[in-house]
């Protein structure tokens, strides 16, 4: 990260791997379905794998692919298990606490490559809209974080410049477009989950205030 010359106005968080303690949403969903059905995790993962890219950019939905997934795993599962899988998402409580502190002085938002039905469920269960705004979801806009468009949408909604925002993600590739656009970026190691270290960098490098 380069030293921020401008006053920071917004901090954007990725969702899975940053605001959750699972690296990806697919991991969460596949693990729950595997445990609930007694099927091997890899079998469930493979059944969803070919649909994942289209789910993330809104080209299809879980409802539309459910029969094909069940055919692949060789068992008819009740689709209600899917909502329970979404609800099993483990929140990163320390990161949520940091976002609440930041919210007192700054805009905090989410920019995520995610499935619409999953994020709709989690927005309600985790009350995301009470803390984060905007929440920019790839499936709603049919584009991912590999390009600048999602970040431009977030900046446009807030009417701020790229250098007035910081984006936190746990995947290096997801930081490339944001950095190229001019946002400050931070790579969060989801295995270490050093939220205190992130807070220190925000304070020391960008003069972000927590009081």
Q: Where are the domains of the chain?
A: 10-22+91-206, 25-87
How far is residue 95's CA from residue 124's CA, in Å, rounded to a whole number? 18
Q: What is the pLDDT of residue 3?
A: 45
Q: How confident is the model at residue 51 (pLDDT cuts 50, 70, 90)?
A: very high
Does the pLDDT value for residue 1 go beyond 80? no
Query: Is the link from the previous residue into 62 a cis peptide, with omega within 30 of 0?
Result: no
Q: What is the pLDDT of residue 6?
A: 62
Instruction: Give Cα separations from 78 to 39, 41, 63, 83 (angstroms).
Output: 14, 17, 11, 10
What's the mean pLDDT in 56-79? 97
Does the pLDDT value for residue 86 go beyond 60? yes
For the domain spanning 10-22+91-206, the CATH number is: 3.40.50.1000
How far is residue 205's CA from residue 9's CA, in Å, rounded to a whole number? 14
Mean pLDDT of the residues in the chain: 96
Q: How confident is the model at residue 211 (pLDDT cuts 50, 70, 90)?
A: confident
Rg (CA), the chain: 18
């Amino acid at each position: 990260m380069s030293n921020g010359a401008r006053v920071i106005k917004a901090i954007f968080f990725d969702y899975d791997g940053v605001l959750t303690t699972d690296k990806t949403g697919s991991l969460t969903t596949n693990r729950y379905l595997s445990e609930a059905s007694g099927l091997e995790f890899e079998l469930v993962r493979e059944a969803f794998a070919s649909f994942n890219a289209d789910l993330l950019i809104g080209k299809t939905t879980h409802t539309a692919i459910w029969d094909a997934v069940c055919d692949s795993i060789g068992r008819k599962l009740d689709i209600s298990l899917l909502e329970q899988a979404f609800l099993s998402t483990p929140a990163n409580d320390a990161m949520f606490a940091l976002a609440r502190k930041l919210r007192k002085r700054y805009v905090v938002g989410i920019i995520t490559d995610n499935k619409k039905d999953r994020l709709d469920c989690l927005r309600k269960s985790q009350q995301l809209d009470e803390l984060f705004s905007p929440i920019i979801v790839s499936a709603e806009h049919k584009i991912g974080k590999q390009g600048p468009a999602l970040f431009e949408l977030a900046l446009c909604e807030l009417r701020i410049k790229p250098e007035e925002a910081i984006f936190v993600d746990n995947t290096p590739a997801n930081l490339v477009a944001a950095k190229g656009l001019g946002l400050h970026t931070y790579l969060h190691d989801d295995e270490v989950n050093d939220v205190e270290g992130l807070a220190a960098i925000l304070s020391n490098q960008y003069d972000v205030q927590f009081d």
